[in-house]
Every structure is written in C-alpha cells, then in structure tokens.
Amino acid sequence: MNGLAGDERGSILPLLAGYLALALAVVLVCVNGIDLLVTQRRIDSLADAAALAASDGFEIVPGPAGVTLELNPATAHDQAAEVVRVSPGSAWLVGVDLDGPTTARATVADLWEPKILGIVVPAGVVLTATGTSRASLAG
C-alpha cells in the first residue's frame, strides 16, 4: 500500500490545473459576453434616439384636405448625425432612410472590442442597430 500511495502523489495537480484553466476561460467568455450585450443595448438605444431626432426633421405642408407632415431628407439626416456625434463612444451613423412622408429609420454601427483578454473571443465585431420613428400631428 505504501508504494502505491507514493506513485499517485501529485496526480490531482494536472486535473486541478485543467479545471482552473477551463473555469478561467468560462469567466472570460461570460464577462466579454456581458460587455457585448451591454454594448448592443447601447447601440439599440442610440439608433432609437437617432431615429427620433430624424423624425423631427419634418415640414408642415398645408393641403386641400388639411395640414400634413413631410420629412425633409437632408434635415432628418443632419439631426440623426448630430445625435450620434454627441453620444459617448465611437458609434457612427450608417444611414437614414425615409419610409413614406413621416417615417424615419436610422441605422447606427459601432465596433466592439473584447475588454478582457481577447484570446478566447473574436476581436473586432461590428454591431449594428436600426431604430424607427414616425412623426405625427396630435389632435
């Protein structure tokens, strides 16, 4: 029995080191995954804000049936670009599309980089989000 115990001394160390490396990799992936999710939510909010600003770029057009709204493409783009420009981070405005006379869609993108040890996760993921907003007359 004594000879057997001497042969197995330290045999748990490689197993422990393997489990420790696996646990560390899981923690790194989870931390970076949470950061990716938070960044995507931030981009979603920024796209919604840019679309809302773009839908404020309307002109009031009188007509025979009453007053209507019509979005000005240049004004809508400028207002969405200003919202993205003053926002924190490195996001950029991909474009503003007008869908009809009162609906604006703003697409925003940002480059996500892993915050902690990018060895186990891909680097440089481009995140995009599209927000939609509609201008309307109340009443």
Please list the ranges in the chain whose pLDDT falls under 50. Answer: none
For residue 121 the two structure tokens come to: 């996760």
Q: What is the pLDDT of residues 99-127, one digit of tens each?
A: 888 899 999 999 998 887 766 667 788 99
Report the mean per-residue pLDDT for the chain. 87
Tokens of 71: 């979005």
C-alpha distances in angstroms, 95 versus 22, 23, 104, 122, 133?
Answer: 42, 42, 10, 26, 14
**pTM (2 d.p.):** 0.80
pLDDT at 57: 81
